[in-house]
Structure 1
């Protein structure tokens, strides 16, 4: 399948370039696009892509590919809208958008939203085990802890190409557009503390929301939200699960923490299923699944198959064979709604203004 990449930054260089380089049986990268010509040339050179652009509209108009991978930072809503309208299949990195309105504006088309943890072999195994035990109805609680070092420390090994050639005025304009989208989601008067909770929820905690969707369904209610420490700081979220039990997410940004660590523990009447995720930037580092059952029996399961690789293969199967993705626009919208509920609960608890879509 001939594909084009939008965004040539950290995730593209550290994850997608090496994976696409070794999956030439599935993909040929024919075009790349980034605001920085330096990054477009660097990634294009590594992947052998002849088409190198600094404007998405120019790349889509030129064509020569079947599908688009949207890997840039920020909201992806407008880029996805353009690609779908032009008839291309799209794999979009999370989050799909920053507002519900952006999702509503998307035309019909083939869209898969990338939450690579859903494709982790350990997660799929945990889903199977949970189903065999009785499904979401047996869960007493889901407890998540994320220890999140700085991106710089996580990517120090990657020797990334740096962008120094993007016009400062253009960057300022794009930041203003993104701020406007957040205002549409939360209201113009939403203070920085509320915006921070929302952006962390959509940018990082959304991975855990996506796992809740797979294990239990999206939470319909948020009971409690607290945030503390210098932004992005620490965030705690709790609430009921749709079938049974409750969830608790504790997310901590610790710039100098030794290594990324994420733990998801599903406690049920007969034991525990615990997932421990490594840094997402370490290719083929296994997630550990531990099953705790009767008489303190502990069984560990690992698989070095790379979740991003499985996700790419799933996108290929979606476009070429019609196999449904684990997250489409509807699933991504559920996560946006949950993030807005989180921001709204935090605002209400602290008597802070909230408006926009979240006020509903």
Structure 2
């Protein structure tokens, strides 16, 4: 399947370039696009893509591919809308958008939203075990802890090519557009703390909400939200699960923490399932699934199959055979709504203004 990449930054270079290089049985990258021509050339050279573009419109008009993979930073709503309108299938990295309105404006088409943890072999095994236990109704609680060091430390091994050829005015205009979208989501008067919380929720904690969607369904209510420490600092979110039990998320940005670590513990009446995720940028580093059952028996399970690679194969199966993805428009919209509920609950609890869609 011929594909085009939009965005040639960190995640593209560290994750997608090596995976697409070794999955040439499924994909041929014929075009790449980035505001930075230097990045487009660097990624194009590594993948053998003849088409190098700094304009999405020009790339879509030139064609020569069947699908578009959107990997740029910020909101993906406009790029996805344009690609779908041009008739291409789309794989879009999370989040799909920053506002509900962007999602509502999307035309009909084939769209898969990338939450790679949903495709992790350990997560799929945990979901199967939960099904055997009785599904969401069997869950007493889901408890998540994320220890998040700096992106620079997580990507130090990747030898990334940096962009230095994009006009400052262009970057300022993009930041202003994104700020306008956040204002539409949260209201013009939303404080920087509320905006930062929304960014962390949609940028990182959304992975944990995607796991809740996989295991229990999206939370219908956010009961409590707190933040502390220097932004982005620490975030605590809790509330009821849709079928039974409650969830809690504690997310900590720790600049110099030795390594990324994410723990998701699912407790039920007869035991627990615990998932420990390594840094997402380390290819084929296994997620550890520990199963605790009657009599404190513990079983550990690992699989070195790369979740991002399984996700790419799922996209290929979606486009070529019509196999539905784990997250489409509906699931991505649920995560936007949940992030807005988080921001709104925090604002209400702290007597801060909230408007826009979140109100």
TM-score (normalizing by structure 1): 1.00
Number of equivalent positions: 359
* 1:222 equivalent in structure 2: 222
* 1:54 equivalent in structure 2: 54
Distance 1:112 1:158 in 2: 27
* 1:289 equivalent in structure 2: 289
Distance 2:167 2:290 in 1: 49
Distance 1:286 1:331 in 2: 26
Q: Does 1:273 align with 2:304?
A: no
CA positional deviation for 1:255: 0.8
CA positional deviation for 1:123: 0.1
Distance 1:233 1:180 in 2: 24
Encode CA deviations 1:325-355: one digit per residue, 9 max, x unaligned: 0000100000000000000000000000000
* 2:105 equivalent in structure 1: 105
Encode CA deviations 1:255-311: one digit per residue, 9 max, x unaligned: 100000000000000000000000000000000000000111000000000000000
Q: Does 1:311 align with 2:319?
A: no
CA positional deviation for 1:28: 0.1
CA positional deviation for 1:171: 0.2
CA positional deviation for 1:32: 0.1
* 2:65 equivalent in structure 1: 65
Distance 2:231 2:128 in 1: 38
Any idea what SS the aligned residue of 1:64 has? coil
Distance 1:109 1:135 in 2: 31
Any idea what SS the aligned residue of 1:258 has? coil
Distance 2:57 2:252 in 1: 38
After superposition, residues 67-146 of structure 1 pair within 5 angstroms as: 67-146=67-146
* 1:13 equivalent in structure 2: 13
CA positional deviation for 1:178: 0.0
CA positional deviation for 1:225: 0.1
Encode CA deviations 1:2-29: one digit per residue, 9 max, x unaligned: 0000000000000000000000000000
* 1:172 equivalent in structure 2: 172
After TM superposition, the runs of 4+ consecutive aligned structure 1 residues lying more than 2 A away are: none
CA positional deviation for 1:357: 0.1
Any idea what SS the aligned residue of 2:179 has? helix
* 1:193 equivalent in structure 2: 193
* 1:300 equivalent in structure 2: 300
Q: Does 1:256 align with 2:274?
A: no
CA positional deviation for 1:98: 0.1
